[in-house]
Amino acid sequence: MGGVGMPEAVWKACAEYLVAANPSLSLYSMLTMGACHLLHAYGKGELLEQMLSRLVTGEWGGTMCLTEPIAGSDVGALRTKAIPQDDGTYRIVGQKIWISSGDHDLCDNIVHTVLARIEGDPAGTEGISIFAVPKILVDEDGKILGANDVQCAGLEHKMGIRGSATCTMQFGDNNQCVGYLLGAPRSGMAIMFEMMNAARLEVGLQGLAVSSTAYRHAARYAQDRIQGQNPEDRNGPGVAIIHHADVKRMLLKLKSHTEAMRSLTLLAAGAQDRAAHGEKIHRQRYTHLLDFLIPLVKATNTDLAWDLTGEAIQIYGGYGFCTEYPMEQMARDCKIFSIYEGTNGIQSMDLLMRKILLNKDFQCLNAFRDFCVTETALFEDKELAASFMKKLNHLLTSVKKLGQELQEGPPNKVLAKAVPLQKAIRYFSLGLMQAMALDRLTKAKGRFDGLSREFIEGRKASAKYFLEFEFPAYELALSQVNADGNLISRCEPDTFR
């Protein structure tokens, strides 16, 4: 298709810098890359190849149009229609809301990938097809034919990512909107899921990038801001806040979380590479591991981004709340990450149901378990390895119990515990990432070419801090998984009067 054929893991490591520099701006290229993958895999014929060639170079941009006023998380409720034409194209009619990069003048043309229902197809997700709808129509030779019947009806005024144009898009107000079918009719949801899986990892990366930037800014600020004395030298000079124990605690929270999030994100990206290009006998296993990790990375990194940017504001004190410093923007920018590309509640249900309880032979969970067992077996510290194995067994026992509850009773009782389960797996995984880092650093005995002693000691301190101070969150989340879900699911709306 183009590009340098870089492994996904290398790309993710680089892309963190791009997203960190400007999450709003990076969205434009993220959506364009998604559209490229779609057209590459499902676009047939010279015209779509022509469009793809322009998207790949960045001359044109792409979007992903799912959401409608009555179809948010419930994509199957969408009403946008596709009417077949004699020439094999479709007329698209409908409205899409909150479309990122929906309209702008950063590039010459925009190719919208639009979910719509071909007239007469069944209701729900099974009746959905997907179309490429260019803003400006071109022919097979790239000659411009004129504007398509697609209009931006308005821009959203948002809490954050204000540099990203979030648009209401009208398709076919004059019944002249031309769309080109991608893939087979009624396979739109499956196709969009492929794109969304990649996009969910990208959104996870957004959470990591903003958290990591917030940490870096806060660490720098804490070195410069002088407040108070060292409690062990009350009459001494004023000290930078980085010397205060509570500020160190907050910085360690930021540092240790972002490092563990980065490891988890790159683990998923590595699984993506191995699933697609690894040795044939291992591909299936990595596909299952990737499937398991996608909702986990998305929910983990994006929930934590909101939490960690809040903590970074706290490190700044009052200045963190003021617009002259970048913290408040980071907090505002990152809130959307836990909402778009499927809310984190929906991600947690995906993990609980599709990836665990309803997954054939528990293949995804087993792939994750096998990864954990293999890694902990390598630990030099056998006590640490044993404690992880014990925690893993507790987790698997709780999952089994959830499976029984699902068979015996109403699903809502189990669904009420989707987020607690996701959080238990989150803390288990982040803890494992830190334990793996500690193990590698200890074994290397300081032999790391090009890395300073301070960096290695800082990395070890952060791993140890995480295992002592943050990892216990796993036990809390697991106790919620084992609690009675009916206490939540049986609450009537009147409870909230």
Residues known to be catalytic: 341
In the bound state with ligand FAD, the residue whose beta carbon lies nearer, of 239 and 353, is 353
CB 226 within 8 A of CB 244: no
With tokens 């997700």, the residue in question is: 125
Residue 340 near ligand FAD by CB under 6 A:
yes
CB 392 within 8 A of CB 373: yes
Task: Say how far apart CA 344 and CA 423 lie, in whole Å.
Answer: 11
Residue 76 near ligand FAD by CB under 6 A:
no
Token pair recorded at residue 411: 């699903």
In the bound state with ligand FAD, the residue whose beta carbon lies nearer, of 167 and 385, is 167
Backbone angles phi, psi at 326, to 5 degrees: -80, -5
In the bound state with ligand FAD, the residue whose beta carbon lies nearer, of 320 and 342, is 342
CB 333 within 8 A of CB 210: yes
Residue 171 near ligand FAD by CB under 6 A:
no
Exposed, middle or buried, 5 (CB in 10 Å: 0-12/13-18/19+)? exposed
Interhelix angle for 23-42 vs 46-57, to 10°? 150
Task: Write out the binding residues for ligand FAD, residues 135-164 only, by CB under 6 A.
Answer: 158, 161
Residue 481 near ligand FAD by CB under 6 A:
no
CB 65 within 8 A of CB 113: yes
Residue 73 near ligand FAD by CB under 6 A:
yes
Residue 345 near ligand FAD by CB under 6 A:
yes
Work out which of 7, 58, 72, 317 binds ligand FAD, going by CB under 6 A. Answer: 72
Task: Say how far apart CA 326 and CA 333 lie, in whole Å.
Answer: 11
How many CB atoms neighbour CB 43 within 10 A?
A: 22
- Region near ligand FAD per CB under 6 A, out of 222-230, 286-294, 334-342, 446-454: 334-342
**Degrees to nearest 5, angle at CA 437 with 364 and 208:** 70
Residue 422 near ligand FAD by CB under 6 A:
no
Residue 47 near ligand FAD by CB under 6 A:
no
Residue 300 near ligand FAD by CB under 6 A:
no
Residue 397 near ligand FAD by CB under 6 A:
no
Work out which of 19, 56, 99, 478 binds ligand FAD, going by CB under 6 A. Answer: 99
The residue whose Cβ lies closest to ligand FAD is 72
Token pair recorded at residue 382: 């056998």
- Region near ligand FAD per CB under 6 A, out of 97-105, 141-149, 241-249, 270-278: 97-105
**Residues of this chain that bind ligand FAD (CB under 6 A):** 64-67, 72-73, 98-100, 158, 161, 166, 336, 339-340, 342-343, 345-346
